[in-house]
Homo-oligomer: A and B are copies of this chain.
Amino acid sequence: MTNRKVVSFENIKVACKDCSLSTLCLPMGLDPDDVERLDGIVKRSRPFHRGDHIFRESDKFYSLRVITSGSIKTYTPNENGSEQVLGFHLPGEVIGLDAIQNSHHTCSAVALETTAACDIPFDQLESLSSSIPSLQHQMYRLLSREIGHETEMLTLLGKKSAEERLATFLLSFSERFKKRGFSASDFFLSMSRHEIGNYLGLAVETVSRLFTRFQDEELLNVERKHVQLLDIERLHEMVHSNNGEKSQQSHI
């Protein structure tokens, strides 16, 4: 999906200050000196291939990961083999935040394609953030933002129709790709229909039918994983335009 030309993997690590993601990632808003110090604790992990796990639920938690290229999904495995997909993550996004609370991962993360990540040992990050107020601030914001995202997902799953869910999903990717310098209207989704459905609380068949319908309505073209949004405007309306339904209110 994202052929970022970060030379080659293995040993070469791009310094944070030279990384194209620095405006999305932790260094955001830090002084150059502080970025340097942060850089000192960041490690580049080996590249992951499609299907490789970055971590698994109940693994001991050592470090946060920042995706640098590729994409991953996080999910909670259930006892019986079913799962709930929690999110799809693109370069610049931090995963593992849920694991801070008790030093164990509460979800699993798996690469959806060839993926590289930076590794930030949390204990070191923690002490570093004690001495760099803006880094601490950045961490608080990051965690808070994650809460905000999940809150939006709660509304999506609690109140929105299937069509609104898929539209929201597509627009989210559109914006995130755009923010990363890719096309907002022409991209590849690295996950399966099944995973999309699971994430959105819908059956695969529903997702598939919606794609077909959106295409019939000339909202987009879709060919397997390749999506071209033709009418982003109308997708937005679909999402915001009042779910204006029954005004579900719960008076005090």
Q: Which residues of A are in contact with B by a Cβ distance under 8 Å?
A: 50-51, 75-76, 78-86, 97-102, 106-107, 110, 112, 126-127, 129-131, 133, 136-137, 139-141, 143-148, 150-151, 153-155, 157-159, 191-192, 194-195, 197-201, 240, 242-252
26 contacts between A and B (CB under 8 A): A78-B242, A79-B242, A81-B247, A81-B249, A82-B246, A82-B248, A83-B249, A85-B250, A98-B144, A98-B151, A101-B148, A106-B151, A112-B252, A126-B137, A130-B133, A147-B150, A150-B154, A153-B154, A159-B201, A191-B250, A192-B250, A192-B252, A194-B249, A194-B250, A194-B251, A198-B250
B51, B80, B155: which contacts A252 (Cβ < 8 A)? B51
**A247 near B82 (CB under 8 angstroms)?**
yes
**A136 near B147 (CB under 8 angstroms)?**
no
Interface of A is mostly: helix
> Given A101-B144, A130-B130, A252-B50 in contact, is the A82-B159 Cβ separation under 8 Å?
yes
A243 CA to B83 CA in the complex, in Å?
Answer: 11
B51, B112, B140: which contacts A139 (Cβ < 8 A)? B140
A143 CA to B242 CA in the complex, in Å?
Answer: 32
A41 to chain B, nearest CB (A): 16
For A198, the chain B residues whose CB sits under 8 A away are: 158, 248, 250
A159 to chain B, nearest CB (A): 6
For A144, the chain B residues whose CB sits under 8 A away are: 97-101, 143
**A148 near B98 (CB under 8 angstroms)?**
yes
A146 CA to B150 CA in the complex, in Å?
Answer: 10
A131 CA to B129 CA in the complex, in Å?
Answer: 10
For A145, the chain B residues whose CB sits under 8 A away are: 101
A81 CA to B159 CA in the complex, in Å?
Answer: 13
